[in-house]
Amino acid sequence: MSSLLDRFSRFAVWGAGRSGVAAANLLAAAGKQVILSDSREDLSDIAALHPSVTVQGGGNTFEGCDAIVTSPGLKPSLAVFARANTAGIPVFSEIELAYHTSRAPFVAITGTDGKTTTTSLIGAIYKHHGTTTEVAGNIGTPLCEVISEVPADAVVVAEVSAFQLWTTHDFQPRDACLTNLADDHLDYFDGDFDAYCEAKRAMIVNMDEGGWLWLNGQDERARRWASDFPGKVGFFALDEASARGGDAAAWRDKDAFYFSHDGATERWCDDISRLGLSGPHNHLNMLCAVGMAHVRGVPFDTIVAALTDFVGLPHRFESLGEVAGVRYIDDSKATNAHAAMAGLAGLTEPFVAIVGGVDKGLELTSFCKLLAERAAAVISIGELRTRLARELGEAGMEPARLQEAESMREAVHKAHEAAGSGGIVVLSPACSSFDMFKSYAHRGEVFQQVVRELVLEEGGE
């Protein structure tokens, strides 16, 4: 397989965000002709761009180029992709460019939920093992920003999304895992769930018999990926039966973790509570990470040390402590109903949920049923409010338990009052954030700031 850098000399890079700038810089440093274009008219704020890159605002162009590297933010149905196809100009993702540039093997992680935590866990385990490790991709740092400095004896642990994978062609990770498949980002794929799933499946289509694929054994759609996979398959699950059926298995039984491979079963952790993460959704993330690392030679004592030291990621069911007897949890990363339910299902007591944001048209029936059965109250924000009120009512929630808020500050104050001393308030949006915030991280930061202000107002810690 020849490299993209060998096959093409004139590149159009679409999208002047961080990943686009990283791709343009990598190509320019390799001596390629690069035009970086964006829908924004004014691109004067782009920083740290290679001086040889030509910048063009007001739309994406491929004029004079023989290959395109696209931003993950551009939907497949956009007319500009059809025009590029008619012109015979191939389109590649930023992760494809990084893969062609890399000297080190890739470990790739995708899925609807849990992929960022799983990616971070795998990276932490490899680092504890003493392996040079680069953690990048959809997790925050563009692969093209760092890949040139990664040595051949390292491991690239890459979170990859459907937005990036649909424009990959040659991408071949050494190992890969799928955390789950659930409805999300259907607006990006124009409501086509099969297209969303197939985009993710592009991660494994080039893998060979030397690769390991780890799948969520409790997800029937994920299990189908094992069919005809040429390498070895491992399953992870919260029960042994769901984890069986592959070349290796990782599962939870009561308070312990187990692993089975080559006919031998080992209980490698006797007390899950010793580890740095809690909750069934995080147990799945840990089991996946452990399976991927252990079959590549990382011993269990190293794995336990890494998981014990691991600190949960920001805005992913992050505990913020108590304010006047009310416990606060930031799960702003829960941008779909399935992810929100994964966090809320681990709570054993009633809670007050702050919910809402951009209505992506996803199915909310199960989420509303959980809220109607378990939530002491729901505070709704953003575009979803009208639909949420209707579907919560249909699920059996009394109107008195549902309130609306125009701002995060108002939502937190109403939730604090509804929870009362000894209660729990969870920011569990189940939606994207772009109606009110710049990102899920910005939403979580605003939530945490309001909680800090509440501490002062209550005269607390």
User: pLDDT tens digits for 242-254?
Assistant: 999 999 999 999 9
- CATH classification of 4-89 is 3.40.50.720, yes or no? yes
Band (261; pLDDT cuts 50, 70, 90): very high
- Which two tokens mark 260? 């089975």
Residues 6+ apart with CB under 8 A from 384: 355, 356, 357, 358, 359, 430, 431
Helix or strand holding residue 77 (H, E): none
Q: Determine the topology of domain 96-309 in CATH.
A: UDP-N-acetylmuramoyl-L-alanine:D-glutamate ligase (3.40.1190)
Band (338; pLDDT cuts 50, 70, 90): confident
**The pLDDT of residue 461 is above 60:** no
Mean per-residue pLDDT of the chain: 95
C-alpha count within 13 angstroms, C-beta hemisphere, residue 146: 17
Percent of the chain at pLDDT > 90 equals 88
Burial class of residue 159 in the structure, from the number of CB atoms within 10 Å of its CB (0-12 exposed, 13-18 middle, 19+ buried): buried
Contacts within 8 Å (CB) and 24+ apart, 339-343: 339/112, 339/113, 339/114, 339/182, 339/184, 339/430, 340/367, 340/428, 340/429, 340/430, 341/366, 341/367, 341/370, 342/113, 342/114, 342/279, 342/280, 342/281, 343/279, 343/281, 343/317, 343/426, 343/428
What confidence score (pLDDT) does residue 312 get? Answer: 81
What confidence score (pLDDT) does residue 185 get? Answer: 65
- CATH classification of 318-457 is 3.10.20.10, yes or no? no
Band (348; pLDDT cuts 50, 70, 90): confident
Across 272-401, the runs of DSSP E, i.e. the strands, are 318-323, 326-330, 351-355, 375-380
Q: Where are the domains of the chain?
A: 4-89, 96-309, 318-457
**The pLDDT of residue 460 is above 60:** no
**The pLDDT of residue 355 is above 60:** yes
